[in-house]
Structure 1
């Protein structure tokens, strides 16, 4: 170890080094450490956020968090958002509520609502979960250089430490020490102005709008009746929208006047020093008049101003060995509430793929699907954001603006993109891990989309079980065998033949199963409780009483039943559904010996 007057240097090795502890970084670190991967996460900030930044979770993000066992705490803390109100000027010019509707039109979401909650609380939940596995965030630690090996054979070998990163760690009384980290993979989750992205010479393609927005979190004292709903207000003075938050707080996004002189000409960014929370609130009051908006107990939790940038990185990695995620990949306006939610989706998509490659379970080619899936989503998000922003900022139709946007156009746009905003409608395109060939067998188990929630009945003890709770983010593919009605002899015989085929040498369980580490098989019969017992299920891979289910109604009558019908699966022909570790459907196959062969061919595309 070389000695320096004020520093010391050491070397270390790690599977994955994550730079940045925002939502994308802590999400990926938590997923990887729980999967048994050697991971480190560093952040330049000496302390975590205390307020501000992102403001909530959409329905799909709640489902993802639940798959890690983390949603319940956030649901308790956050402010549930069920309704959306829209205010516009009436003929006399006074503001009037013109619409009250559901905040989310995602009927097949497990939670058909969002929650308002500060980013720091969401990050804290991930940090606490990481620490249960011994992983702690390294704060006040900054990367100063990043170099990747140029040797092709090393880049192709996922076990090679191809990245060399120098970290500088701030110490007490102005001291510092440096460390050379050799990493197999590096993830840049370091925000919109990503250092990692710049070092990799990855351009962010897009533009910056001319609109300046103020944001303020406060404890309101107001007579606006919809203060605990998402509320859009359009008036002759401009526009704003409000989001209810935890602890009775609200967040207000408000468009600043066109003559607002807050842009720094040198950087093109909004200069916070040229405005104040009082100026932002003054604009809020102009737009809201005659409704009142005061600050209770002088509690302003956080505020800022910004210029909307709508950009997406031209690529998401260099040789799939140094990657980027979250705001490092894409930036957009907050109006659709997608910033943190998109970042969580990126890491959820990437973590299981890194796990498989690092454990030697999958080819390096699997990592290419991270960019193909998530960059396509980001491009769609930017296109939506542009349309939404234009509509949101356009003048409303009035006598002065006869060509302005009508209320019907505004509502129509919201309906059109609701499945996108909620995250429920994301569909990944066909690829090595998305095979829609047999979609017709289960038309509502849409290949490339996440599984629709449904209650089934445990065959052994009769308790109701939500299918999503059977799909934890534990790095395993879930093999959902819809085995028909096993009270019918022909259906039972077919199921036996299929189960026997899965474990034959040469088929997927035998070739890729790794003693239960890769696959978790669950069996669902269309039979009813009065006709079928748990003992009637033929033994299957990983067979256990807790993995056999009936598509029936709970004996007390409240829940369950109709699952086969919901998914479009024939009650006797059945189907096999392959669910990826991230909860998205990779393949639907016929319930037959040939179907097992096709499933084997599917996994042969990327597993080792």
Structure 2
């Protein structure tokens, strides 16, 4: 087939395919009226168009914020072209799956299946020996555990999704110069931002501003907060290349450990922890990209009589100096020495795609928000703007996007007036209340992974919770309630990771069979990406039986509970373990048939077991409230529909 015809068909497919937009969230506040001055006004201004900024902009767009109310800017002239982040973990894939954006990543990225560990024997340090091969299997998840794909691809996927909605795109080449809260100038749009583009400065006003502008965040600087923590002595080099190597596991995620060095220029010849390979995606010419991380740390010999503080300061200065001396050639030389006796070099006819040298920072800001005079949060920071840690666990891009996923629905509820009656302050406060402890726990985990003497068994238990982000857990708060639901069994963190429902953790995906058409479905697809809450009822065996306990409760949810809130904002999902052979659809109350026709599912007893819920007996079943970000907000016994209503009223306005 002629290439021109293939290109034309591809173009028509992009331009002519029908795209189903999300239904916007209900809005109880008026759209902003045109400004009487020349100052542009927005309801949300996003600074930074990396993955976290684009995730937030995409979600706010889907929730119904028009381009006249939402602007995303970036100081760069264009999106990421080379380097930066490259790992998308299991939980991020699940989130992108809810948005329908995961397919290209899974198609184009490289999936981690196995991980190997290589080391040198002290008796013969010139030999590199494989110690183990492990399946890369951390936690049950809907998709793969980890996929590597260049950050630029992720940004492109988000930008294409934005263009589908109303043709909007990022405003590149625009830099935030200054930001402050100025309620006297405009109380409704109190955040005043000065933006510079093409050498021209312009003032803009916004209700809310979000800094997704990275580790050197201008937003964080304008907030007057600093990253606090440790700038370690660890120095690493990273390089992306098409490699020519006879190393057997060059296409697997592999760790290579060295032996301690013996003085001299040990930062090149030894004395480091080694490095690890990250296999990457296939390029357009058919070559496969490889990323290599190398420990380039300098360790000074301790001198007798020299104070510890002086040694530490000398070590920091040495590390800083060595970082400035690292070059592409030095990284490649170090790689050749690390992999000896195997060959490891740049493939002939190709060039290194990207390289960098960096120090490991493990730091965190004390606050993720800036409030106005009424204590209402107006400015937020997400991602690297508010926390930094080692890239070795592959968390940076993932945690950043998950920050935005947590914030987006809360921001939309506040802008649209969907939130409870306090104007959204408590709901917006919950962003920091949930994400700051999560970042703190991640940094603590990162430090423990480097702790000498920590047993591999202990490391593995923690890695399973953190590395693929499926163990993220929010504590009791406005959006999480663990009251009243009783369990006879004591569950462990491992049980929760494997699917047992716990408020504050994500709902594990399970396969169910839709009653209406017999299709197998994923529960995550039922949650959707429209910013809605879901009341998932795990019914007992008496569902469908006239006057049965589960039937009565399902009728109450569909006819009363969801009617207390704006239409379409709370969706019922009914899962039941068995239907009597003589059951007829018309046997159900009309409210269930109307509200849950396409969300009534059959599930096996194994599904109930995974969720830690009984499927038969007098106390069988449960009610689960799932938040718009896929986190379980609360869990109650079937009869406790009033508890569900009380919980939802904490976050969502009623329409009664």
Do Structure 1 and Structure 2 share a fold, with TM-score over 0.5? yes
Q: Among 287, 292, 296, which residue is 2:338 paired with?
A: 287
SS of structure 1 residue aligned to 2:152: helix
Match of 1:147 in 2: 180
Q: Among 419, 426, 442, which residue is 1:381 paired with?
A: 442
CA-CA distance at 1:421 after TM superposition? 0.9
Match of 2:562 in 1: 509
**Residue 105 of structure 2 corresponds to residue 74 of structure 1:** yes
| 321 and 268 in structure 1: CA distance in 2 versus 1, 3 angstrom threshold | farther
Asked if the contact 2:383/2:401 (under 8 Å) is kept, the reply is yes
| 353 and 270 in structure 1: CA distance in 2 versus 1, 3 angstrom threshold | farther
Partner Cα distance (1:576, 1:419) in 2: 25
Asked if the contact 1:441/1:590 (under 8 Å) is kept, the reply is no
**Structure 2 alignment gaps of length 5 or more:** 1-36, 260-269, 283-287, 301-313, 372-376, 492-499
Match of 2:310 in 1: none
66-75 vs 143-152, which moves further:
143-152
TM (norm. structure 2) is 0.80
**Residue 231 of structure 2 corresponds to residue 208 of structure 1:** yes
Asked if the contact 1:87/1:233 (under 8 Å) is kept, the reply is yes
| 324 and 142 in structure 1: CA distance in 2 versus 1, 3 angstrom threshold | same
| 57 and 44 in structure 1: CA distance in 2 versus 1, 3 angstrom threshold | same
Match of 2:194 in 1: 166
Q: How many residues align?
A: 557
Match of 1:586 in 2: 633
Partner Cα distance (1:487, 1:63) in 2: 30
**Residue 129 of structure 2 corresponds to residue 96 of structure 1:** yes
231-240 vs 539-548, which moves further:
539-548
Asked if the contact 2:232/2:360 (under 8 Å) is kept, the reply is yes
Asked if the contact 1:24/1:189 (under 8 Å) is kept, the reply is yes
Deviation digits for residues 155-212 of structure 1, max 9, x if unmatched? xxxxx21111121111xxxxx4333211000000100011100111012110101111
Asked if the contact 2:558/2:572 (under 8 Å) is kept, the reply is no
Partner Cα distance (1:221, 1:533) in 2: 65
Match of 2:370 in 1: 318
Q: Among 179, 204, 207, which residue is 1:184 paired with?
A: 207
| 198 and 270 in structure 1: CA distance in 2 versus 1, 3 angstrom threshold | farther
Partner Cα distance (2:189, 2:171) in 1: 21
Root mean square deviation, CA, Å:
2.5
Mapping for residues 106-505 of structure 1, pairs under 5 Å: 106=139, 108-134=140-166, 135-150=168-183, 154=187, 160-170=188-198, 176-236=199-259, 237=270, 238=272, 239-247=274-282, 248-258=288-298, 274-296=325-347, 297-319=349-371, 320-362=377-419, 363-391=424-452, 409-410=455-456, 412-440=458-486, 444-486=500-542, 489=545, 493-502=548-557
Asked if the contact 2:574/2:596 (under 8 Å) is kept, the reply is no
Q: Among 594, 610, 619, which residue is 1:566 paired with?
A: 610
CA-CA distance at 1:264 after TM superposition? 13
Partner Cα distance (2:628, 2:322) in 1: 43
CA-CA distance at 1:270 after TM superposition? 7.1
TM (norm. structure 1) is 0.87
Deviation digits for residues 286-322 of structure 1, max 9, x if unmatched? 1211121011133311100001111111100011110
Partner Cα distance (2:322, 2:207) in 1: 39
Partner Cα distance (1:480, 1:179) in 2: 48
**Structure 1 alignment gaps of length 5 or more:** 1-8, 155-159, 171-175, 392-404, 553-560
Partner Cα distance (1:279, 1:49) in 2: 25
Q: Among 44, 48, 51, which residue is 2:75 paired with?
A: 44
Deviation digits for residues 466-508 of structure 1, max 9, x if unmatched? 1111112210001111222246737x5323432343366xx64
Partner Cα distance (2:156, 2:580) in 1: 43
Deviation digits for residues 364-417 of structure 1, max 9, x if unmatched? 2101110011000000011111122345xxxxxxxxxxxxx59xx346413432
Runs of 4+ residues deviating >3 angstroms: 150-154, 263-273, 438-443, 486-490, 499-504, 528-542
Partner Cα distance (2:369, 2:409) in 1: 16
Partner Cα distance (1:574, 1:259) in 2: 59
Partner Cα distance (1:88, 1:229) in 2: 15
| 140 and 278 in structure 1: CA distance in 2 versus 1, 3 angstrom threshold | same
33-42 vs 186-195, which moves further:
33-42
Asked if the contact 1:441/1:589 (under 8 Å) is kept, the reply is no
Asked if the contact 1:10/1:179 (under 8 Å) is kept, the reply is no
Partner Cα distance (1:424, 1:367) in 2: 23
